[in-house]
Amino acid sequence: IETELVMELRVRDPETVKRLEAAMPRGCLGKPEDIAQMALFLASDESSNVTGAIFAVDGAVTAHCPVQLN
């Protein structure tokens, strides 16, 4: 997630941030707003039937498998 710490790292070591972004399945880091949108959904009536679930708001990092499994 593009936090203040990541923004500071972008200034100090832009190449590291570029490598992080390149490793992301979507090619970019998430924004704090992405987390906020999930929180809003869970706080809304739209999620009234959601119970005991784990939601990864990580730009598909946990769903991405770079190694082909046989």
pLDDT of residue 63: 84
- In terms of Cβ atoms closer than 10 Å to its own Cβ (0-12, 13-18, 19+), residue 38 is middle
pLDDT of residue 69: 55
pLDDT in tens, the chain (70 residues): 999 999 999 999 999 999 999 988 888 999 999 999 999 999 999 999 999 899 999 998 888 766 655 5
pTM of the model: 0.74
